[in-house]
């Protein structure tokens, strides 16, 4: 069993609460964009944003992975955006874990702000797709690690 750590180095157990999700089956590019969007927000604001994404009311701006991504009216400064529902569901579960960990530590949950939200590459599940003439092409699937720290 691998021993996972966190990439955040200034972690203080008295002030910060953290949670992580490992080997999650979701899009790494969409996970990166969602983590960059919620970073710096209060925990309650991030949860309400993700709930709006799940209900397709608000979109996540795609800043890096935006080729052939349509413009959305609900993005503020960046025009390209999407509604990554699966990613929003998984990250909202991790945010709920951060909230319960902070509550267990006795931290003030209403003032928690997300100070670190990162995605890392997980395992690659090899797969193949059949092609013509008896050939096949690789079609691998990447898993994602997500870590969120609030303080």
- How far from each other are the two terminal CA atoms of the chain, in whole angstroms? 29
Supply 40's token pair. 């710096």
Check: CB of residue 93 under 8 Å from CB of residue 36: no
Residues for the chain: how many in total?
151
Distance of CA 121 to the CA centre of its chain: 12
pTM of the model: 0.89
Domains of the chain: 17-150 (3.90.470.10)
Check: CB of residue 42 under 8 Å from CB of residue 112: yes
Predicted confidence pLDDT, tens digits, the chain (151 residues): 678 889 999 999 999 999 999 999 999 999 999 999 999 999 999 999 999 999 999 999 998 887 888 788 777 777 888 899 999 999 999 999 999 999 999 999 999 999 999 999 999 999 999 999 999 999 999 999 999 999 9
């Amino acid at each position: 069993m691998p021993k996972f750590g966190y990439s955040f180095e200034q972690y203080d157990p008295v002030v910060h609460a953290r949670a992580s999700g490992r080997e999650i089956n979701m899009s790494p590019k969409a996970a990166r964009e969602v983590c960059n969007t919620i970073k710096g927000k209060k925990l309650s604001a991030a949860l309400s944003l993700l709930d709006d994404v799940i209900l397709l009311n608000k979109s996540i701006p795609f800043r890096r992975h935006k080729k052939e991504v349509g413009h959305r009216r609900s993005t503020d400064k960046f025009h390209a955006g999407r509604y990554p529902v699966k990613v929003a569901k998984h990250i909202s579960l991790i945010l709920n874990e951060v909230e319960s960990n902070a509550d267990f530590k006795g931290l003030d949950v209403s003032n928690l702000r997300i100070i670190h939200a990162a995605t890392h590459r997980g395992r690659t599940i090899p797969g193949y797709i059949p092609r013509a003439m008896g050939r096949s092409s690789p079609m691998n699937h990447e898993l994602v690690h997500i870590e969120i720290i609030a303080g």
